[in-house]
Amino acid sequence: MRRFATEKVKKLILGSFLSTRSPAPSSQLCSSSAAAAASAMGPTQSPPVTFDSINPKVLKCEYAVRGEIVSHAQRLQQELQTKPGSRPFDEILYCNIGNPQSLGQQPITFFREVLALCDHPSILDKSETHALFSADAIARAWQILDLIPGRAGGAYSHSQGIKGLRDAIAAGIAARDGFPANADDIFLTDGASPAVHMMMQLLIRSEKDGILCPIPQYPLYSASIALHGGSLVPYYLNEATGWGLEVSEVKKQLEDARSKGIAVRAIAVINPGNPTGQVLAEENQREIVEFCKKEGLVLLADEVYQENIYVDNKKFNSFKKIARSMGYGEKDISLVSFQSVSKGYHGECGKRGGYMEVTGFSADVREQIYKVASVNLCSNISGQILASLVMNPPKVGDESYESFIAEKNGILSSLARRAKALEDAFNSLEGVTCNKAEGAMYLFPRLHLPQKAIEAAKAANVAPDAFYARRLLDATGIVVVPGSGFGQVPGTWHFRCTILPQEDKIPAIISRLKAFHESFMEEFHD
């Protein structure tokens, strides 16, 4: 179905949806303009909504992280339940998506205590509650409830989020950066994705508007640009220098797009990188800020992995901190920073909490962003609370501090070990090279495939990396996402693999990977 779909998309993109075949009443496939004509002709047995009569922007959008390979994995999982032992593995390992708790990571106790107490405040003053919850969680829940008008945690909030929670987040940003932050700049959202959509909706007027995106990129960006009808302007990260972001390459692509009449409105920068795992150096970030200022680009800074750093020689710097340290303020650069509760050490993906910090926009533009936010009323309050906890966790002296730090460091140090173990394993495979994961949650190894494998993929009418990923899944139950879902230099092949399986499973995963890879290379050896 998907391949069929994709071909139809190509036809649509090629404009065949503007053809005017006259509709047969029974036809399920009359073209959209024919449908329009039919509808416009007056009462008729109009066709229902068909593949060919839905919004072509929707057809154009792709999101590989939950694409065909995952659908196949879900089928295999059902098969394992109904026919145990029918496959050479007994479980599916979802390494396709940064979803830590789905692979056994435990939530941070303090965060969940506070969320539970805010969900059911009537137990706050019961004596038994003190036996079940830490004192500082109880105190924090009271503090948070007092920030909510009427303590009504079940009410719609201000469309940017509860003011007191935005104050806490702004204070957390200021403490992180050493520069002031303003609650009025914070828009709380159901995870980072809706925030990215909101900015694309604001910036994109037509296919003549372009957004610079790294290649490889997290496909939320390509999907959102497609849904809003804009043009993705790619800039390639340099794999040879550890996925380096080179401003000379960005400039070249910007000029090329402008020469084609594209109004390039913004640049998306993902730091730490997804799927590429690099952490930008401060000097590199300064160049990017300077470039955005000079070229009048909005800087869309995806900083959702800011807590996920695994190497001693790198640290996270927000683009706002960098810009302010260069002396650039509100009037100098338009900057949006995206943050999420789904990532970091907490990995609370299911809570759908996040925010964007919007700086350097005029009051009348800000009013329009607020208006778009207000149409959906507000983001979920538990996610809002969690976002404030992430930016304002327990402090030294709080009852939960020691256990909180132990949980946090335990997770982050384990992730660092898993990243290194998997990186080494990939690099030990014939024809595989893999850059270090300095941060984020992914490795993006490159596959140097034998010609026979590439021909076999062509014969199967799939990309070579999709062919490899499918074979890997069928042989081991390990789900990875083909590089083609993120974009890559034409003729190179990669896949994205998370570092999230629990640590005790890593050795078994590595041996399964190695065994599969050796037999794959054996099968397709030139």
Residues 74-133 binding a copy of itself (CB under 8 A) are 97, 99-104, 107, 109, 112-113, 115-117, 119-120, 122-123, 126, 128-129, 131-133
Question: Is 382 in a helix, a strand, or coil?
Answer: helix
Beta strands 442-443; 493-498: pairing state? antiparallel
415 in contact with a copy of itself (CB under 8 A): no
Of positions 13, 24, 54, 135, contacts a copy of itself by CB under 8 A: 54
Q: CB burial class (10 A; 0-12, 13-18, 19+) of residue 369?
A: buried
440 in contact with a copy of itself (CB under 8 A): no
Listed in sequence order, the residues at least 6 apart from 493 whose beta carbon sits closer than 8 Å to its beta carbon are 446, 447, 448, 449, 463, 464, 465, 468, 482, 483, 484
Residues 264-323 that bind a copy of itself (CB under 8 A): 264-265, 294-298
Of positions 31, 56, 278, 449, contacts a copy of itself by CB under 8 A: 56
Q: CB burial class (10 A; 0-12, 13-18, 19+) of residue 96?
A: buried
Summary count for the chain: helices (H), strands (E): 19, 14
500 in contact with a copy of itself (CB under 8 A): no
480 in contact with a copy of itself (CB under 8 A): no
14 in contact with a copy of itself (CB under 8 A): no
Q: Which stretch binds a copy of itself (CB under 8 A): 2-10, 178-186, 441-449, 480-488?
A: 2-10
Rama region for 72: left / alpha / beta (φ>0; ψ in -120 to 50; rest): alpha
Q: Which stretch binds a copy of itself (CB under 8 A): 155-163, 172-180, 268-276, 422-430?
A: 155-163
406 in contact with a copy of itself (CB under 8 A): no
Q: Which stretch binds a copy of itself (CB under 8 A): 81-89, 165-173, 308-316, 380-388?
A: 380-388
Q: Which stretch binds a copy of itself (CB under 8 A): 33-41, 80-88, 423-431, 513-521?
A: 33-41
The rounded distance, in Å, linking the Cα atoms of 190 and 387 is 10
Q: Which is nearer to a copy of itself, 4 or 397 (CB)?
A: 4
Of positions 14, 40, 396, 459, contacts a copy of itself by CB under 8 A: 40
Q: Which is nearer to a copy of itself, 143 or 427 (CB)?
A: 143
Q: Which is nearer to a copy of itself, 36 or 175 (CB)?
A: 36
Q: Which stretch binds a copy of itself (CB under 8 A): 59-67, 271-279, 307-315, 485-493?
A: 59-67
Beta strands 478-479; 493-498: pairing state? unpaired
Q: What separation in angstroms does the CA of 502 have from each of 28, 69, 87, 94, 505? A: 48, 22, 22, 12, 6
Beta strands 231-236; 209-215: pairing state? parallel
The answer to whether the CB of 187 falls within 8 A of the CB of 162 is no
Q: What type of residue is 252? A: K
Of positions 13, 41, 174, 508, contacts a copy of itself by CB under 8 A: 41
Q: What type of residue is 151? A: R
Give the binding-site size for a copy of itself (rule: CB under 8 A).
Answer: 124
Q: Which stretch binds a copy of itself (CB under 8 A): 217-225, 231-239, 389-397, 484-492?
A: 217-225
Residues 331-360 that bind a copy of itself (CB under 8 A): 334, 342, 347-352, 360
Length of the chain: 526
Residues 156-215 that bind a copy of itself (CB under 8 A): 156-157, 159, 190-191, 193-194, 197, 201-205, 208-209
* Residue of 297, 292, 289 lying closest to 262 (CA atoms): 297
Rg (CA), the chain: 25
